[in-house]
Amino acid sequence: MIDELVENVINRQRRHIARSISLIEGGDDQAPELLQKLHKHTGKAWRIGITGPPGAGKSTLIAELTKKLREAGHRVAIVAVDPTSPFTSGAVLGDRIRMPDIEQDDDVFIRSMATRGSSGGLSARTADAVDVFDAAGFDYILIESVGVGQVELQIERVADSTLVVLVPESGDQVQAIKAGLMEIADLYILNKSDRPGSNSMLQSLYAAVSFKGKHNEDWDVDILQTVASEGQGISELILAIEKHRHFLERSGKLQSRRKSQLEERIRNKVYDSIQASLWTPQRLAYLEQALESAQRGDESPDSCASSIVQDYQNKK
């Protein structure tokens, strides 16, 4: 049955692609076998992570990017991991109106991921979902995520090119950059760049980028200006993405980047699997007892922990 599903995914059947991702999201027992069999068909898609604060216009940018990529004949999958995204079901109606031209295109697949659970779990499920699209022959996979917040996807662990989208309006964005987006950006996009404050925001960005120096694998982080709602700057953005792609491919850094992403995925899967076998109802009951004893001062966190670990290592 999994073999048939794999066959249909590779033959680009939408219904089976959707079903595969549901299996992954639901943590189905058959998901590992499915992923194992799809894995050899992956590695061809270019995975673009798009992040930035709410209101930066990420979804509009993704819609325009998708249209341009389609004009060039590419197949595009969109994975929305942002609960505020109009691509996800929770979006307000007004926002969804913009998307019909790409939503009715058979070579575009839009999927939102449920953002429940830990950020590690979310990254794992997203990476697995991206593998399904990759195996299904999509040329570009666009992953939309919020940059900061409660349900944060570590998008740089899933993407080949990470785009950070900002707007001129406020210095808030600079704070957001400081808070970690800086480290992950391969390209900055100053969207809504026809608005006031654009120049000073650009200056802040150039300053931030030059301060950063050569940290980012010798890649000179690009800064682009777009007005996504009018389609401005999208072709230049695609060129910049291609430039980054060629840089990674020629320098051999694509392979090392994907290798470290793969390592992270394997380590997380090992961790999840051990957690599942560790926290049996018996050990959870012991933990509860131990907590009370630790609160009375009879045991320390270290001694409780080592009892649990010893029990696990003896009984497995």
Q: Which amino acid is at 258?
A: R
State the minimum distance, in angstroms, from the CB of residue 310 to a second copy. Answer: 9
Nearer to a second copy, 63 or 155 (CB): 155
CA 282 to centroid of chain Cα atoms: 36
Using CB under 8 A as the binding rule, whether residue 258 contacts a second copy is answered as: yes
Q: x/- contact string, 271-300, with a second copy (CB under 8 A)? A: x-xx--xx--------x--xx--xx-xxxx
Q: Residues 26-65: x/- map of binding to a second copy (CB under 8 A)?
A: -----xx--xx-xxxxxx---------x------------
- Count of residues engaged in binding a second copy, rule: CB under 8 A: 60
Concatenated DSSP letters of 231-277: TBTHHHHHHHHHHHHHHHHHHTHHHHHHHHHHHHHHHHHHHHHHHHH
CA dist 271 and 120 (Å) reads 10
Q: Per rule CB under 8 A, is residue 255 in the interface with a second copy?
A: yes
Which CB sits closer to a second copy, 151 or 238? Answer: 151
Spell out the alpha helix ranges (H) of 31-136.
31-39, 58-71, 93-96, 100-103, 119-135
Site for a second copy in 119-178 (CB under 8 A): 127, 148-150, 170-172, 174-176, 178
Among residues 285 and 291, whose Cβ is nearest to a second copy? 291
Report which DSSP code applies to 258: H
Joined together, the tokens standing for residue 126 give: 């997203």
Q: Is residue 266 involved in binding a second copy (CB under 8 A)? A: yes
What is the C-alpha to C-alpha distance for residues 9 and 6, in angstroms, rounded to an integer?
5
What's the rounded Cα separation, in Å, for the pair 77 and 93? 22
Stretch that binds a second copy, among 67-75, 85-93, 239-247, 302-310 (CB under 8 A): 302-310
What's the burial of 263, exposed, middle or buried (CB within 10 Å: 0-12/13-18/19+)?
exposed
Token pair in block for residue 225:
């200006």
Dist. CA 45–CA 60, nearest whole Å: 22
Is residue 215 a contact residue for a second copy (CB under 8 A)?
no
Contacts with a second copy by CB under 8 A lie at 31-32, 35-36, 38-43, 53, 127, 148-150, 170-172, 174-176, 178-180, 183, 255, 258-259, 262-263, 265-267, 269-271, 273-274, 277-278, 287, 290-291, 294-295, 297-306, 308-309, 312-313, 316
